[in-house]
Amino acid sequence: MSDDSATGHGAPRTVVVKVGGSLVSDKRSDHDIDEAAVLDYARLVADLARSYPGRVVLVAGGGALGHGAVRRKEHDGRLALLPLTRATFAVKWVWTEAFRAVGLPAVPLQAMAMYAEGGDGPMFQTGVVSRLLGTGVLPVLSGDCVLTADGDLRILGSDHVPGILLDGSFGPVRVVALTDVPGIHTGRTGDSPVVPYLDAADPSRAYAYLWPTAAWDTSGAMRGKVDAFVAHAARGAECVIARGDRKAASLRHLMAPMADWPKDLPRTVISRSRPA
């Protein structure tokens, strides 16, 4: 860990890598998941986890299966969203099998069993994550539905899941969303520059950059990501949005201080202080 970790831009202790569903599925379908793409990303995440034992957590984007389950609500009443637990477990299982194939022990964990909202505020149950990390097993998380203070279920999208790990025991935490864009574009096209840094205390200008969200997307695409990451940053996390590349040589820069990241790699950092 480097000395400037107090500023939030040194090497983190824990990196939460969220691989967007956009990289491994076609979200307009209800069932698609590209197992070959998952395997490529699993290989990259496994290399990172082996290089930094006990310091990497994966969050799998729900992709088509997650968004599909939300679009087709089959149950009624308070637990109407429950099929989302099954759908996102299927996603976690695909990832868990991919990690097995590349020789990294990994265990899927249901977000609903780790987080709930109570009358006195949020409840976090992260001891098992610590134990898994301490024994060299990669925790595989994903979006889910979670219990609200009223006893209903609500969706906890995968961009929000890293928030479960911000209870203090894993910090400093860096949250990295690998997605199909290199950050928050400042123009209406994919060749416009990205916002290099967004101050979590004043995120309003980012919202002006957002493109309209497709109706099939149930988590607000980039808007949902900005909402989630601004909240994580307010709780002390350093958040990064960058493009995923399944054929990348390595993801080891994800553990490096921001100053040591490849200079030619576009990304958007969202945090409480500007990287040097």
Site of interaction with Mg ion (CB under 5 A): 219
Residues in Cβ contact with 93 at an 8 Å cutoff, skipping those fewer than 6 apart: 108
**Spatial CA neighbour of 210 closest among 191, 198, 197, 226:** 226
Q: Which is nearer to Mg ion, 7 or 219 (CB)?
A: 219
Q: Which stretch binds ligand ADP (CB under 6 A): 40-48, 104-112, 217-225, 259-267?
A: 217-225
What span, in angstroms and rounded, lies between the C-alpha atoms of 87 and 64?
9
Q: What is the DSSP string of 155-189?
A: EE-TTTGGGGG-SSSS-SEEEEEEESSSS-BSSSS
What does 209 bind: Mg ion, ligand ADP, none (CB cut-off 5 to 8 Å by kind)? ligand ADP
- Which of ligand ADP, Mg ion, none interacts with 179 (beta carbon under 5 to 8 A by kind)? ligand ADP
Query: Token pair 């929000």 is at which residue?
Result: 160
Class of residue 46 by CB neighbours under 10 A (exposed 0-12, middle 13-18, buried 19+): buried
Q: How far is the CB of 65 from Mg ion (least distance, A)?
A: 13
By CB under 6 A, tell whether 99 contacts ligand ADP. no
Please state the closest distance from residue 216 (CB atom) to Mg ion, in A. 11
Minimum CB distance to ligand ADP smaller for 53 or for 216? 216
Any idea how long the chain is?
276
The rounded distance, in Å, linking the Cα atoms of 166 and 101 is 30
Sequence letter at residue 115: Y
Smaller CB distance to ligand ADP: residue 23 or 133?
Answer: 23
What residues contact residue 34 under an 8 Å CB cut-off, 6+ apart? 24, 25
Q: Between the CA of residue 57 and those of 192, 264, 265, what are the distances in Å?
A: 31, 26, 22
Scan residues 220-239 and list those touching ligand ADP (CB under 6 A): 221-222, 225
Kindly identify the residues of this chain, within the stretch 154-213, that bind ligand ADP according to CB under 6 A: 179-181, 184-185, 209-211
Q: Which CB atom, from 102 or from 210, has the smaller least distance to ligand ADP?
A: 210
Give the one entry of ligand ADP, Mg ion, none that residue 66 binds, where binding means its C-beta sits below a cut-off of 5 to 8 angstroms depending on kind.
none
User: Shortest gap between Cβ of 105 and Mg ion (angstroms)?
Assistant: 28
- Considering CB distances under 5 to 8 angstroms, the limit depending on partner class, which of ligand ADP, Mg ion, none binds residue 7? none
Residue nearest to Mg ion (CB): 219
Q: Which two tokens stand for residue 192?
A: 């416009």
User: Considering only residues 20, 139, 143, 203, which one is a binding residue for ligand ADP as defined by CB under 6 A?
Assistant: 20
Chain CA centroid to CA 85, Å: 17
Count, residues near ligand ADP per rule CB under 6 A: 15
210 binds, among Mg ion, ligand ADP, none (CB under 5 to 8 A by kind): ligand ADP
Alpha carbons 20 and 238: distance in angstroms, whole number: 18
Which of Mg ion, ligand ADP, none binds 185 (CB below 5-8 Å, type-dependent)? ligand ADP
- Where along the sequence are the contacts to ligand ADP (CB under 6 A)? 20-22, 61, 179-181, 184-185, 209-211, 221-222, 225
